[in-house]
Amino acid sequence: MKELMERIENDGHVLGEGVLKVDSFVTHQVDPVLMEKIGKQFAACFADRQITKVVTIEASGIAPALFAAQHLGVPMVFARKSKSLTMNEELLTADVYSFTKQTTSTISISRKFLSAEDNVLIVDDFLANGQAAKGLIELCRQAGAHVDGIGIVIEKSFQDGRQLLEEMGLKVVSLARIDSLSDGKVTFLKEDA
Annotated binding-site ranges for xanthine:
20, 27, 156
Identify which of residues 110 and 129 has a Cβ nearer to ligand G4P in the complex.
129
In SS3 terms, 102-159 reads as CEEEEEEEEHHHCCCCCEEEEEEEEECCCHHHHHHHHHHHHHCCEEEEEEEEEEECCC
Give the contact letters, 48-77, x = binds to ligand G4P (CB under 6 A), - = no. Answer: ----------xxxx----------------
Q: Does 180 bind ligand G4P (CB under 6 A)?
A: no
- Pick out residues in 74-133 that bind ligand G4P (CB under 6 A): 98-100, 125-132
Of 54, 74, 75, nearest to 65 by C-alpha is 54
Residue 65 identity:
A
Q: Does 161 bind ligand G4P (CB under 6 A)?
A: yes
Identify which of residues 52 and 60 has a Cβ nearer to ligand G4P in the complex.
60
Backbone torsions φ then ψ of 5, nearest 5 degrees:
-65, -40
Residue 98 identity:
S
The whole-angstrom separation of Cα 19 and Cα 34 is 21
Identify which of residues 44 and 93 has a Cβ nearer to ligand G4P in the complex.
93
Which residues make up each annotated binding site? 20, 27, 128-132, 156
Q: Residues in contact with ligand G4P, total (CB under 6 A)?
A: 22
- Applying CB under 6 A, which residues contact ligand G4P? 19-22, 27, 58-61, 98-100, 125-132, 156, 161
